[in-house]
Amino acid sequence: MERGCPARGALRPAIVGGDRPLGVGDDDATGPSKGTAQPPCVSARLPSPPSSVWQPISSAPGAFLRVCAGRRVARCDRRTSHHVRRENCRMMTRVPSVRLVLLLSTLAVIGLLSGAAHAQEGGEVEPFDNPALPGWERTSNAVVAGGVLRIQGEGYAIRPEAQVSGGIVLRLRLEGDGFLEVRYHISEGGMDILRVGAEEAALVRDVGGQQVTLASAPSSLAVGEWWLLELNLAGTEQHAFLGPGVELHAVEVDPLPGAGLMLHVFGEAVAEFDDLTLLPGEGVAPPEAPSAPVPTAEPQPAGDLTWVRTGGPPGGLGYDIRYNFEDPNTWYVTDAYSGVHISTDNGRTWQAANEGIPPQAGTTGDAVPVFSLTVDPLDPSIVWAGTQGTGHIYRSSDGGRTWEQRDSGIRVEHDGLTFRGFTIDPLSSDIVYAMGELTSEALGGPAIWGNGTGGVIFRTADAGRSWEKIWDGGIPSSLTRYMWIDPSNSQKLYVSTGIFDRGAAGEGDPATDPLGGLGVLVSADGGKSWQVQGESHGLRMLYIGSLTMHPEKPEVLLAAAGHASTGIGAYADYLRSRGETSPAGIYRTENGGENWTQVLTPPADRILEALSSVEFCPGEPDIAYAASEARVYRSQDAGATWRELPSSVTGWGPPHIVTGFPIDIQCDPRDADRLFINNYGGGNFLSEDGGQNWVNSSQGYSGALLRSVAVDPIQAGVVYAAGPSGIWRSEDGGNLWNGLANSSPSAILRLDWNTVVVDPVDPQHLLLAGSPEVFESIDGGQSWHKAPLSNQQGERLEGDGLAGMSPISVFAFAPSNPSVVYAGFAHGGCIIYHEPCPPTGGAVIVSQDGGASWRLESGVLPDPAAVLDLAVDPSRSELVFAATEAGLFRSSDGGSTWRSLGIDPRAGRVSAVAIDPTNGNHVLASIDRVGMWESDDGGETWGSRAAGLEPNPVIHDIVFDPSNPARLYASDNASGAYRSQDGGRTWERINAGLTMRALTGMAITSDGQHLYTASLGGGVFRLDLIGQPPAPASIVQETSAPAPTAFPEAETQAHSTVRGGIGSPGLYVALGGLCGLAFLGGGLVLYWALRRRGR
């Protein structure tokens, strides 16, 4: 093992300045001698003030110290990342006489005080003689009288500072119907409980609100009589003795830290306590760095394992949002990957509702590509839905719970048919119109950003049993989406054409008329003939992505216009050069479309801002909303004038979330200030104050395409996910997700991300990438900053210097020295879909300071050599494997040079590589569409290990179980998840519960009990390998009495070790005094020696 940060097992606690841990490693002349175990990088709250000979780095509250032998000392707080070199923390070898005397005197006092403090922590007696009960918090029904503490049912008394490190002894008496609990080891990680009743006693562990009984026995205690309770804590063992003949014994594999003692009485019981003694002991030190908890149970057989769909984070390809006219608390949203979702609680939570709509798209055929949805206003139990690409229509007669296919007469032409909208005739539920999009690359180039798009309209008069085409624009033309029918004349139809991200007919000169388009289609005879309302009617922009009709004045309509093509910059310059305003915006007609007037125009700095959605509010028709990717607007005069609503640097939407294009807006019919926006990039967002503020309202609704997932090394419920919809964090195993797009002027976070990783020794330290730049967070994603990147000559690469470089695709921390981090480059398309990768330059970058700065170390990988995965040897930080488009490579010098490893003659793209965390010679690698390969000699020779895998697997990730390296898991982009229990030699499929088998990144918790995987269209899935969900990072407990202020209710799972012992308080005072005198005497001798040396 190289010198520097050793393996996690070499950790040793170092307590400085009280009970707060500070791990310090040093490798200079004054540090530990050779061979001394040095701690890896840890996070520890700074002592205030530090009592060591190191200069303090910061005294600011909340500052953290990251320390590691042989590398930087970094002060990290929530405001900045400031790196301080080791030289600045010099030893004070020559101290002026006065300062030295003061220092030695201070050490003597500390020695005396530490002895007294230790005495107070052990052997303390509480006789309950003072009615004020100093040092305790209690409810009103907990009183002291006659030298006894009496607590009635549902009452408690708490001693927050009590050190229950060696155990307790007390006398007690219990009466009435109920039980009592003695709670101890109370911390953010949970608590231990001794539960005592008239018939049973038990030792219980509570973590995150989940309780596990460690030991229990019949109590047979005499009710109403005094008896002795003794609890002894020693190491991992707990012994409880209750009265005559009742003994409990438990061994904890992961004892909890924490102080405090709580006496809590439940039911109608009344308990009296006297003569409480706190037994001394060393107690439990808070963990210096994450350690892998020992699993309490073996994973279940494959047949018993079922994945949990977390329903998040938000993402996918959202489209429509609608409400039920009969019950406005019922809402519907669609997603082109996860289908229909229904909310019955007014949009707060969502459940998938696709029964009858089979999966039919995606790389595995698991996607349910529902794009459009409409509720019948005449009969709200009838709901219509249409698919993307596959040309299917479904009808529900039970409010969307079940579906029946109704698309007879519809034929998919060209490359695909997508239904963009439905409209029901105001006089008959049997008459329905379906608007659609035809796509063809062969007839007009790409369907996106090109003119390979066409439009079509179908009509049924028999509730979908048969359909006829009533308009076909051919290819190229413009797709159709919204239709509005004049309620006073059902033959009068209005149809929007075009949308902001598709091509159309009539594209002209790229500089003067690059877009073309149609405008609004109008029919006066029920669709038998059509008129185009375009430029001659006042529409300067003919991409009408959204259209809405005034609920009470059908001659008043609003149209949202715009196009977001990245290739129309020349057009924007052309408009500015001529002094013209933007043709995009909102258009309004008061005469049924004969004349349109532009009523909302983007400003010059956003001259081609594409307005993608507009909507009247049905409850208050004069209120309307419009939106673009950047802004939301509100009108209070039926769209005649508009006001821009507040937004942030990332656009509209909730804080910390980059929302993207609003694809549909819907007002609550009962409250015009309450509106939903469904996001084209997935996710549903709610405002309840007229668009001033927004919240994420997507719980359970996700079709997210994700590339990466990472899990906290300590807390199994804390998980991160990254992909095209942003960067997200969940603290409860994936039930709720929070955005982490916390931008600052120096780090404007974007929407699309490739990879996120958590520092294995600092859970607050994250690295994130979706471009050639690295973003670093030192506070769990609450803030970010760019980490500088330099070339081999030390020149910083930024701006144009990054041109031509692919986005960063993967990070890998060195297990033996987490200050060493590697990163590789590859484009997102080849990462997700395993397509051929464009050239990247073959770059691997390396950080020597935990990701704070980076250097381009290699240019010798063959080109193209998109780096798809990296793995670092568990004991040698300079030995790294790179899985690339051109094969598998190994570097033994930290990425400066690379050697190609011949796995198989068929080897081309190697998509994943992993190294056994306990044996660096044991390596697994996957060759795309060939299989899995294993090496037992560090990559020199290889053998096929494909038994149990699909014949042509597309493995995306391989992870070892840290609690048992013979157990591995793999994610396949084409066939789901696999498990091996023999070191990777054979595999078994574990797909139960996976509604989407197109899997990408995987992450396993440090205790090996929970496995997370990202997917292409299903968000994050979680596999609880022992059948129990992970403890959330924060649990609020409900109590019938006021919550004690000394004990936060938020409980977090933590793990450490226990050491216990029993001693005499007087002895500790004496020992403390002797230590103080020894400090003083030794200091004087040292002072005398230094003085003589100075002569």
pLDDT digits (tens, 9 = 90+) for 456-484: 999 999 999 999 999 999 988 899 999 99
Interval 154-180: pLDDT, tens:
999 999 888 888 889 999 999 998 999
Give the three-class secondary structure for 114: helix
Interval 926-979: pLDDT, tens:
999 899 999 999 999 999 998 999 988 999 999 999 999 999 999 999 999 999
Task: Using the 3D structure, point to which of 263, 286, 309 is the last residue of a domain.
Answer: 286
Half-sphere exposure (Cβ direction) of 432: Cα atoms closer than 13 Å: 30
935/87: higher pLDDT: 935
Residue type, 3: R
Q: Tell me what pLDDT residue 837 has.
A: 79
Check: CB of residue 555 under 8 Å from CB of residue 549.
no
Q: Tell me what pLDDT residue 800 has.
A: 66
Does residue 27 form part of some domain? yes
Give residue 166's domain range: 123-286
- Checking if the pLDDT of 570 tops 80, the result is no
**40/142 same-domain check:** no
Does residue 160 form part of some domain? yes
Listed residue (332, 342, 303, 288) closest to 64, CA to CA: 288
Q: What is the SS3 assignment for 92-109?
A: CCCCCHHHHHHHHHHHHH
Output the domain CATH number for residue 277. Answer: 2.60.120.560
* CA distance linking residue 749 with residue 734, whole number of Å: 22
In this prediction, residue 798 has a pLDDT band, given cuts at 50, 70 and 90, of: confident
Interval 202-254: pLDDT, tens:
999 887 677 888 888 888 777 888 888 999 988 778 889 887 678 888 876 56
Task: Note if the bond before 21 is cis, omega within 30 degrees.
Answer: no
**128/81 same-domain check:** no
> Which of 256-260, 724-728, 731-735, 968-972 shows the lowest mean pLDDT across its residues?
256-260
* CA distance linking residue 667 with residue 323, whole number of Å: 9
What does DSSP assign to residue 731? S
Q: Tell me what pLDDT residue 859 has.
A: 57
In this prediction, residue 99 has a pLDDT band, given cuts at 50, 70 and 90, of: very low
* CA distance linking residue 676 with residue 674, whole number of Å: 7
Provide the token pair at 177: 């119907």
- Checking if the pLDDT of 847 tops 80, the result is yes
* CA distance linking residue 313 with residue 1012, whole number of Å: 13
**142/270 same-domain check:** yes
The total of other beta-carbon atoms located within 10 Å of residue 446's CB is: 14
Provide the token pair at 599: 């009523």
**183/79 same-domain check:** no
Q: Tell me what pLDDT residue 216 has.
A: 85
For the sheet containing 597-600, what is the strand order? Answer: 544-549, 557-561, 585-589, 597-600
Listed residue (771, 826, 830) closest to 797, CA to CA: 771
**532/486 same-domain check:** yes
Does residue 419 form part of some domain? yes
> Which of 425-434, 741-750, 961-970 shows the lowest mean pLDDT across its residues?
741-750
In this prediction, residue 831 has a pLDDT band, given cuts at 50, 70 and 90, of: confident
- Checking if the pLDDT of 993 tops 90, the result is yes
**130/39 same-domain check:** no
- Checking if the pLDDT of 554 tops 70, the result is yes
Q: Tell me what pLDDT residue 450 has.
A: 61
Q: What is the maximal distance between C-alpha atoms in the chain?
A: 112
Q: Per-residue pLDDT averaged across 975-995, rounded?
A: 96
In this prediction, residue 840 has a pLDDT band, given cuts at 50, 70 and 90, of: low
Provide the token pair at 215: 């030991």
**156/281 same-domain check:** yes
Task: Using the 3D structure, point to which of 90, 106, 137 is the last residue of a domain.
Answer: 90
Q: Tell me what pLDDT residue 1020 has.
A: 98
Percent of the chain with pLDDT over 90: 56
Task: Using the 3D structure, point to which of 514, 542, 570 is the last residue of a domain.
Answer: 542
Interval 585-631: pLDDT, tens:
999 999 999 999 999 999 988 888 999 999 999 999 999 999 999 99
Task: Note if the bond before 160 is cis, omega within 30 degrees.
Answer: no
**84/131 same-domain check:** no
**81/130 same-domain check:** no
Task: For 491, list phi and psi in degrees, rounded to 5.
Answer: -85, -15
**127/85 same-domain check:** no
**170/83 same-domain check:** no
Q: What is the mean pLDDT of the chain?
A: 80
Q: Tell me what pLDDT residue 20 has.
A: 30
> Which of 158-167, 202-211, 415-424, 496-505 shows the lowest mean pLDDT across its residues?
202-211
Q: Per-residue pLDDT averaged across 710-721, rounded?
A: 96
The total of other beta-carbon atoms located within 10 Å of residue 905's CB is: 5
Rg (CA), the chain: 34
- Checking if the pLDDT of 65 tops 70, the result is no
Interval 648-689: pLDDT, tens:
777 899 988 988 899 999 999 999 999 999 999 989 999 999
In this prediction, residue 743 has a pLDDT band, given cuts at 50, 70 and 90, of: low
**161/265 same-domain check:** yes
Does residue 942 form part of some domain? no
Buried b / exposed e over 519-542, threshold 16 CB at 10 Å, is bbbbbeebbeebebbbeebbbbbb
Q: What is the SS3 assignment for 324-346?
A: CCCCCCCEEEEECCEEEEEECCC
Q: Tell me what pLDDT residue 433 has.
A: 99
Number of independent structural domains in the chain:
3
